[in-house]
Amino acid sequence: MEIVIEVKNLTKIYKSLDFWKKDTYTGIKDVNLSIYKGEIFGLLGLNGAGKTTLMKTLLGLLQPTTGSIKILGSSINNTEIRKYIGYMPELPYFPKYLKAYEILEYFADIFNIHNKRQKILQTLELVGLKGNEYKKIKGFSKGMQSRLGMAQALINDPEILFLDEPMSGLDPLGYKEMRDVLVDLNKNGKTIFFNSHILSEVEKICDRVAIMHRGHLIEPVKVSWIIKKFKSVESYFIHHVKE
């Protein structure tokens, strides 16, 4: 199977935020990970385990302290590669006075998308924001902002999707919609890498999961294997993070 994300011996050490202090904090340590084309990969972990750190390092928002990252066989600093990537941060925020359409237009311009109007409207419909195209972000609820965050990640039909807690802030119907969107994308051959706290959803859609614990990554396993061995992802998760 084709590897789309390859991480080797990745360590990220945070320096102190105050430049005069010398103390450091290890965000993630010695992570090795391969993600295959076309799979949905779930990253689990407690608060502060280092999930977001890993994702940001993969995306080049943070510089790795040591180790190497290859995405689609190349470095993330290569702007060509970024055309095939979508990223939704945790708690996405957009400038208040702009309209949903304008924000997507901005990103569409950066991707240089042809017939962008159609694409934008289509994406907004996909994430369930139809009818709010020309509403200012100021009037958006938290969940609507999350949906817009999803929309901007999908605007370029990415090959790989990085989602940082995509379900947070959504209503129960939103869970289902999001699940459907992800499964649908996956059917079209897209790779999805996401982290989440909602284990029931993870169980429903993921092919493989891995647990991040105190900066260490525990070997990824197939969900089907977990179900066989532990009955549910929840008991697997608790088994690993309890000790």
Partner 1 sequence: MKSVLAVIEYIVKQNIRNKMLNVLTIFSIFIIGFSLAISELAQESEIRMLKDFGLFSISLLSFITLLLSVTIQMFEETELKTMHIIMVKPIKRSEYLIGKYFGIITTLFINILFMFIVLMLVINIRGSDPWELKLLLSVFFIFISICIISSVAVLFSVIATSVPGCVLFLFFTYVLGHLTIHLKKLVAHSENTVIKIIVDIIYYVVPNLELFNLKNKLETTYGLIEPSFFLFIIIYAISYISIILLISIKYFDKKEFF
| Residue of the chain from 18, 20, 21, 47 that contacts ligand ATP (CB under 6 A) | 47
93 in contact with ligand ATP (CB under 6 A): no
- Do 127 and 147 touch, CB atoms closer than 8 A? yes
| Calpha distance 86→128 (Å, rounded) | 18
Beta-carbon contacts of residue 193 (< 8 Å; ≥ 6 apart): 5, 35, 41, 43, 55, 58, 160, 161, 162, 163
70 in contact with partner 1 (CB under 8 A): no
Rule CB under 8 A: which of 39-68 touch partner 1?
56, 59-63
Instruction: Look at residues 4, 48, 57, 3 and name the one whose alpha carbon lies nearest to residue 30.
Output: 57
- Do 175 and 201 touch, CB atoms closer than 8 A? yes
| Residue of the chain from 68, 109, 125, 235 that contacts partner 1 (CB under 8 A) | 109
| Residue of the chain from 51, 119, 147, 190 that contacts ligand ATP (CB under 6 A) | 51
17 in contact with ligand ATP (CB under 6 A): yes
188 touches which of Mg ion, partner 1, ligand ATP, none (CB within 5 to 8 A by kind)? Answer: none
Instruction: Look at residues 212, 240, 168 and name the one whose alpha carbon lies nearest to residue 12.
Output: 212
Q: Calculate the alpha carbon distances from 77 to 57, 60, 61, 74, 235 in Å.
A: 11, 7, 10, 8, 39
Measured from the CB atom, is 148 or 209 closer to partner 1?
Answer: 148
3-state class of 35 per DSSP? strand
25 touches which of Mg ion, ligand ATP, partner 1, none (CB within 5 to 8 A by kind)? Answer: ligand ATP
Q: Which residue is nearest to ligand ATP (CB)?
A: 52
The count of residues interacting with ligand ATP (CB under 6 A) is 13
- Do 35 and 193 touch, CB atoms closer than 8 A? yes
Rule CB under 5 A: which of 35-64 touch Mg ion?
52
Identify the H or E element spanning 116.
Answer: helix 116-126
45 touches which of Mg ion, ligand ATP, partner 1, none (CB within 5 to 8 A by kind)? Answer: ligand ATP
Which residues form the interface with partner 1 (CB under 8 A)? Answer: 14, 17, 56, 59-63, 76, 79-80, 82-83, 85, 87, 89, 91-95, 97-98, 102, 106-107, 109-112, 149, 152, 162
